[in-house]
Amino acid sequence: MALDRIRKRPEDHAGANLDDYERCAASFSWTQARSLLDGLPGGGLNIAHEAVDRHVQAGRGGKLALRWIGRDDQIRDFSYADLAAQTSRFANVLAQFGVGKGERVYSLLGRSPELYIAALGTLKNGSVFSPLFSAFGPEPIKARMSIGGAKVLITSEAFYLRKVEPWRKELDSLALVLLTECSGNPPTATVDLAAVMTAASETFETVRTEPEDMALVHFTSGTTGRPKGAVHVHEAVVAHHITGRFALDLHADDIFWCTADPGWITGTSYGIVSPLTNGATMIVDQAEFDAERWYRILQDQKVTVWYTAPTAIRMLMKAGAQIPKRFDLSRLRFISSVGEPLNPEAVVWGVEAFGKPIHDNWWQTETGGIMISNYPAMDVKPGSMGRPLPGITAGIVERRNGEICEIDKPMAMGELALRPGWPSMMRAYLHEEERYRKCFAGGWYLTGDLAMRDADGYYWFVGRSDDVIKSAGHLVGPFEVESALMEHPAVAEVGVIGLPDPAAGEMVKAYVALKEGFEANELLRKELLGHARKRLGPAVAPKDIAFRQNLPKTRSGKIMRRLLKARELGLPEGDISTLESEER
């Protein structure tokens, strides 16, 4: 089935929040969006208050907020009132240990209830929350905690012993380690979270935060240098809320499942904040991807709105369109996807498997929330990311003689840019003013993505303008991987690129030149793979390593990843005028 347009009929979107894109985009204002939220009773704005307590105060405390499904299918339910009580306990724990406003609280947890409670409890305490992905190894964890000056870490005992304890002494700022899943006596200089939670009070007055106060730090990767800590403020909640309404069509009676892990921003903005501010019920599955399990959750939990990612959809496609037919998915009303290009085939497959298309949307860690999206009441053009959210001005730009110019011609390729000023726009990269400043030019925020806009105003993703790798929806910075490999005594030079992969979109591959005296053989290759995996963790480590005599470099000594990639894929080598002679 090849379709260039999936038409929406009125009965497909009855009751949609965004029932008329043009009209809504024309009349939208952020002030009006802000008025859908409450603000703190005494003034100020706090994400956790909007997500949890305001519902309790309005008499909706009995409503199911979070249904957690354990790996072993055990279910734990939290009403809005339960979440309010637990997050207050957590805020009290922080306060008792002297953790104050603006101080950094990190989590390194799987999708356990404690993660959700810690995130919202931290915000109630006016502290700043920074979630780390649990599949990170010690190096990415250490780098991110150092950059953010972590004061508190919440993690499991097992993660702590394996990934943090060995280097903890090097991080002076870390004053408090709260452990989940404690086996007995907590290790030296750690605290059993369960014990202090039980002792803490269930009432806590949310610390007054202002809209511009720092709330969340999400790390993302660039082509070079250390990971970047994108700073988001409490005002971001206005965007979390309204994008949930418009792009995900969230209503209070929805059962919403965002499959992303809160270790990445999608799992926080839409796996915690947005469904809760919208008063919906959210599903969290602790387990990893499994096609049958996922269909069973959609069926048994009567999921109505589902937000997932292309890698998962491709894996479901591989399992076949017959499997979903065995399940009753009649409650599913809206399916949405983000993080990497969603192939047109996948959109159309959605129609075959679920009777409805998959709605692609686009955003970044830096934008804090969905910026470009397909909506229930708008025709889908498979392969397009959709149109800008009401309140967002997007453009395709290019640099001409150093100036940023907008390109108006339909389907002309350029850099995707956004007019700054929306509430969830990052306010800084921690300690990296220069890198932050470089994201803005000519009155635009430059996304680093290449895209096109068609005559109907739909945006089409083309690729990234840098060397950052997108693997299974996660950004991997080549420099971080190269640095870990460079630590190995055998490695002289290394270049890391992403190669096309049918499931994960891109696969991380490293090219290594060895030092004198080392022999390129299978044993060493395995050792390097193991070394990288141990340092970086499975989410970041290369899946493959190849040996090269030497690597293509610029005259200034920079490895030309782009050329490495072109050669690997047999593509044109492009401009190689800066290439240093490769004979040595």
Looking at residue 163, the DSSP 8-state letter turns out to be: I
Q: Which residues ranging from 378 to 437 are in contact with ligand WT7 (CB under 6 A)?
A: 385
Burial label, 247 (beta-carbon count in 10 A; 0-12, 13-18, 19+): buried
Distance in Å, CB of 442 to ligand WT7, minimum:
19
Least Cβ distance, residue 339 to ligand WT7 (angstroms): 5
Q: Taking a C-beta distance cutoff of 8 angstroms, is the pair 530, 459 a contact?
A: no
Q: Distance between alpha carbon 501 and the CA centroid of its chain, in Å?
A: 20
What gap in Å lies between CA 580 and CA 133, rounded to an integer? 38
Smaller CB distance to ligand WT7: residue 46 or 365?
A: 365
Facing residues of 77 across strands? 67
Smallest separation, CB 555 to ligand WT7 (Å)? 29
Is residue 505 part of the contact set for ligand WT7 (CB under 6 A)?
A: no
Choose between 175 and 441: whose C-beta lies nearer to ligand WT7: 441
Question: Cα(399)–Cα(413) distance, rounded to whole angstroms?
Answer: 12
Tokens linked to 362 = 């686009």
| Distances 400 to 295, 397, 419 between C-alpha atoms, Å | 50, 9, 19
Residues in the chain: 584
> With respect to ligand WT7, which residue has the nearer C-beta, 46 or 107?
107
464 binds ligand WT7 (CB under 6 A): yes
At position 483, the amino acid (one-letter code) is S
Q: Find how far residue 567's CA is from the centre of its chain.
A: 31
Smallest gap from residue 360 Cβ to ligand WT7 (A): 5
- One residue of 163, 232, 470, 509 binding ligand WT7 per CB under 6 A: 470
Nearer to ligand WT7, 15 or 502 (CB): 502
Tell me if 207 sits within 8 A of 46, measured CB to CB: yes
Closer residue to ligand WT7, CB minimum distance, 160 or 436: 436
The answer to the question of residue 157 lying near ligand WT7 (CB under 6 A) is no
Closest CA to 334 of 318, 317, 358, 312: 358
What is the DSSP annotation of 283-339? EEE-S---HHHHHHHHHHTT-SEEEE-HHHHHHHHHH-THHHHTS--TT--EEEEES
CB of 264 to ligand WT7, least distance (A): 6
Check residue 341 for interaction with ligand WT7 (CB under 6 A).
yes
Please give the radius of gyration of the chain, using alpha carbons only, rounded to the nearest integer: 24
Segment contacting ligand WT7 by CB under 6 A, of 178-186, 277-285, 317-325, 360-368: 360-368
Q: How many residues line the site for ligand WT7 (CB under 6 A)?
A: 21
Type of residue at 266 = T
The rounded distance, in Å, linking the Cα atoms of 349 and 343 is 10
Residues 237-266 that bind ligand WT7 (CB under 6 A): 265-266
Q: Which is nearer to ligand WT7, 221 or 277 (CB)?
A: 221
Nearest residue (CB) to ligand WT7, 278 versus 364 = 364
Query: What pairs with residue 231 in β-bridges?
Result: 217, 428
Instruction: Choose the binding region for ligand WT7 from 54-62, 358-366, 526-534, 542-550 (rule: CB under 6 A).
Output: 358-366
What's the min distance (Å) between Cβ of 269 and ligand WT7?
A: 8
Question: How would you write 113-132 as a 3-class SS string?
Answer: HHHHHHHHHHHHCCCEEEEE
- In what helix (H) or strand (E) does residue 108 lie, and over which residues does it extend? strand 104-108
Minimum distance, C-beta of residue 183 to ligand WT7, in the bound complex (Å) = 34
Which of 365, 374, 384, 471 binds ligand WT7 (CB under 6 A)? It is 365
Which segment (162-170, 299-307, 355-363, 478-486) binds ligand WT7 by CB under 6 A? 355-363
Residue 149 CB coordination number (10 Å): 16
- Tell me: does residue 475 bind ligand WT7 (CB under 6 A): yes
Contact between 489 and 515 (Cβ < 8 Å): yes
Q: Which residue has the tokens 């038409």?
A: 7
Taking CB under 6 A as the criterion, the residue among 307, 334, 363, 458 binding ligand WT7 is 363
Range in contact with ligand WT7 (rule: CB under 6 A) among 176-184, 324-332, 333-341, 391-399: 333-341
Near ligand WT7 by CB under 6 A: residue from 254, 285, 340, 467: 340
Name which position in 68, 133, 294, 362 contacts ligand WT7 (CB under 6 A).
Answer: 362
Using CB under 6 A as the binding rule, whether residue 467 contacts ligand WT7 is answered as no
Binders of ligand WT7 in range 117-156 (CB under 6 A): none
Q: Which CB, 17 or 361, lies closer to ligand WT7?
A: 361
Q: Which residues bind ligand WT7 (CB under 6 A)?
A: 220, 265-266, 338-342, 360-365, 385, 447, 449, 461, 464, 470, 475
